[in-house]
Amino acid sequence: MRFERFDLNLLVILDTLLEERNVTKASDRLHIGQSGASAALKRLREHFGDELLVPVGRQMTLTPLAQTLVEPVREALLQVRAALARRPAFEPKTEHRKFVVCASDYVTTVLMAEVIQHIAVQAPQVSVDVRRPPKGFAEVFDRGELDLIVMPEPYLTHFTHPRTPLFRDTHVCLVWTGHASVGESLTFDQYMELGHVVVRLGEDARAVMFEEWFQPRYGMQRRIECSVDNFSTLPLLVVGTQRVATLHRRLAEYAVRHLPLRMLEVPVEVPPLIETMAWPRHLQNDPAHAWLREQVQLVAARLDNRSASGGASTG
């Protein structure tokens, strides 16, 4: 399609080139041959009268003009996607729509599972694809490849997209019911003497979220004896051991209902966790997306109401 003699398909290629800064990587992501990507870059250079990408050593860098194009090109494509997806109204019972939601396995267990159950009743033709947060999730989000993301509030501090808090959670300790040395409570000294089961996140397998907060504050490191790359498996690795795990209260409450585990208060003051929902600004007024956000908020409110009325007891 052409607009004032400009092939609008080139905008998609330009957006990818500006992000990847590499013709080969851009062609792979767009599923076009490298020659096709090179030809498109040549046409773009002719249109703008600028090299756009120039070699610097073994890499390519953006020219000053190309740098000014990054945001407007991305925003234009997002607006086009929003316009194409727009419908005059959203009828949950009959509408066909797929939503892509990014959330941890913890959020999926305590929130999204119930959201999906709720949606299945209210909108049987709507599908939900729940994915773990990818590396560089902010860039993926900016490209318009996700409909929603639910993450702890600090990770979204610099987001330029709309967001709202969903629910709060605290941390507790889990020990096996057959743990020989732990009574009705844990002292700080006991906590530091025990072996710990922890969650490590990130491709380098070194990022222990709780440790990032704990070590600078207390100047000590817990004795980590076992680690896993997800939250849901953590309780299973405590059963049958003399170890302890520190995790979200809501997930711990779920675990003690199904496993021989006891829940105890953490013997240190841990700041509450605030899970926050963010969505692309170009979908702010989309009726279907507004409906999805309402469903997520509705279920999150139920979680808080259940917590306020009393949950599983500790100890």
Please provide the average confidence, as pLDDT, over all residues in the chain.
85
Most confident of 35-44, 173-182, 209-218: 173-182
CA distances to 183, 195, 242 from 179, rounded to whole Å, are 9, 12, 5
Phi, then psi, of 286 in degrees rounded to 5: -75, 125
pLDDT score of 203: 55
Element (H, E) at 248: strand 244-248
pLDDT in tens, 53-83: 888 877 888 888 988 988 888 877 877 776 6
Q: Can you list the domains of the chain with their CATH numbers?
A: 2-85 (1.10.10.10), 97-158+278-308 (3.40.190.10), 171-271 (3.40.190.10)
β-pair partners for 101 = 130, 148
Element (H, E) at 107: helix 105-107
pLDDT in tens, 118-153: 999 999 999 999 998 877 777 777 777 889 999 998
Helix axis angle, 9-20 relative to 34-48, nearest 10°? 100
Distance CA 276, CA 291 (A): 17
pLDDT score of 306: 73
**Hey, what amino acid is at 267?**
P
pLDDT score of 220: 84
pLDDT exceeds 80 at position 311: no
Quick one: pLDDT band at residue 313, thresholds 50, 70, 90?
Answer: very low
Burial of 251 (0-12, 13-18, 19+ CB in 10 A): buried
Higher pLDDT, 117 or 204: 117
pLDDT score of 208: 55
pLDDT score of 314: 41
Quick one: pLDDT band at residue 160, thresholds 50, 70, 90?
Answer: confident
pLDDT exceeds 80 at position 85: no
Compute the average pLDDT of residues 189-193: 93
CA distances to 80, 145, 204, 242 from 101, rounded to whole Å, are 21, 10, 24, 37
pTM: 0.70
pLDDT exceeds 80 at position 309: no
pLDDT score of 110: 93
The answer to whether 153 touches 263, Cβ cutoff 8 Å, is no
For residue 159, give the nearest of 144, 145, 139 by alpha carbon. Answer: 139
pLDDT in tens, 1-39: 444 567 777 888 888 888 888 888 888 888 888 888 888
pLDDT score of 202: 63
pLDDT score of 5: 64
pLDDT score of 15: 86
* Coil, helix or strand at residue 5: coil
pLDDT in tens, 255-271: 999 999 999 999 988 88
Distance CA 62, CA 117 (A): 46
pLDDT score of 312: 42
Burial of 45 (0-12, 13-18, 19+ CB in 10 A): middle
